Amino acid sequence: MKQAHGKTKKFGMVIDLDKCTGCGTCMVACMAENNVPFRKDETDKRLSITWMQVYKLTNGKSYPDAEICYLPRPCQHCEGHHSGHSPCVSVCPATATDYDSETGIVSQIYTRCFGCRYCMAACPYHARYFNWWDPVWPGDMEKYLSPNVSPRMRGVVEKCSFCFHRYQLAMEKAILEGRHELEEQEYQTSCTQACPAGAITFGDLNNPEHKVHQLAQPDPHHHGRPKNPKVFRLLERLHTNPKIYYFSSKEWVRRAGDNYVKDESKSDHHE
């Protein structure tokens, strides 16, 4: 579907894993920006809501050959093998999550979600989180909540929205100024701006002038698969067609992005 007043966007990210230090600033920025709730005891990480989650990868070797890599994982905003056939969107029984063909963003409608968690089962990236508790903000923290993002109630699923409220605010401003297109820097996610190493690049993958497009070089004939040999997407072989691209100069990191049966080389499946 074409956008009424502009070109169809496909917002996405390139995350440079060579630059990521695993500091977690992106996670903190995301939580503050999006009113992500937390509890007093967050020891069980499988109960923590972290729209942006930093994973620690190792090459499995011993010192002195041991290497580590940190991999930030937001929602991958999958497009699927045909437009909008994301793993989660296709299964939600109540249309509480949707694929916006104008922006490529996978949305979550909190007031429509009834908490069946089928989308969580469908997502191989574990990018979706369930509100096992009602959010409780300690002390005066409630005053610091962002008015642009609705807090979520117990019993519904939530996930990264690519800071969609920022897109809405930027578009409102642009329309007031008589424009229908945004400049690259007008819409940036909070994690992108917060990263002290500048590891995250965000923009429109459809726009050749945007840096994400230049870094990822998405191939429109192969569902956006990166032409840049040092860029990969997580679980490419599942045909989820995600919009998060990862850059790494290390072969073992790129290989960790997918699964291979024994003795299978990466090139075996790439074409």
Partner 1 sequence: MDSALFPKGVQRCSMGKFFLGLSIAGAVLLWGVLGLFLCWIKGLNQTNMNDYYGFAIWIWADLAVIALGGGAFFTGLLRYIFGIDELKNIINFAVLIGFICYSSALLILAIDVGQPLRSWFIFWHANVHSMLTEVAFCLSCYFAVLTIEYIPLILENRQLDKVPFIHNLTHNMHHIMAVFAATGAFLSFFHQGSLGGVPGVLFGRPFAFREHILVWPYSFFLFTWSAAAYGPCFTLFITWITEKISGKQLVKDNVVQLLAKISGWMIITYIIAKIADTVYWAMVTAPSKGFALMDFYSNNALYGIWILFAEIVLCGVVPGLILISPKLRANPTTRLIAIILGVIGVSLNRWVLVLQVMAVPVMSFDTWALYYPSWQEVATTVLPVAYGVMMIMISYRYLPIFPQEVELNPIEPLPTETVTEIEVDKETAEEAMVSEGEPAPAQA
Binding site for partner 1 (CB under 8 A): 44, 46-49, 55, 57, 71, 87, 90-96, 112-118, 120-126, 128-134, 153-157, 234-235, 237-240, 255-262, 264, 269
Gap between the Cα atoms of 18 and 2, Å rounded: 36
Q: How far is the CB of 83 from partner 1 (least distance, A)?
A: 13
Q: How far is the CB of 252 from partner 1 (least distance, A)?
A: 11
From residue 112, alpha-carbon distances to 107, 116, 191 in Å are: 12, 11, 27
Question: Residue 170 or residue 235: which is nearer to partner 1 going by CB?
Answer: 235
Q: How far is the CB of 226 from partner 1 (least distance, A)?
A: 18
- Lookup: tokens for 166: 């920022």
DSSP E strands, the chain: 11-16, 53-58, 68-73, 97-99, 106-108, 129-130, 157-158, 200-204, 218-219, 225-226, 231-232, 244-247
Q: How far is the CB of 87 from partner 1 (least distance, A)?
A: 4
Strand partners, 97: 108
Q: How far is the CB of 178 from partner 1 (least distance, A)?
A: 36
The DSSP symbol for 163 reads S
Question: Residue 66 or residue 94: which is nearer to partner 1 going by CB?
Answer: 94
Question: Residue 95 or residue 146: which is nearer to partner 1 going by CB?
Answer: 95
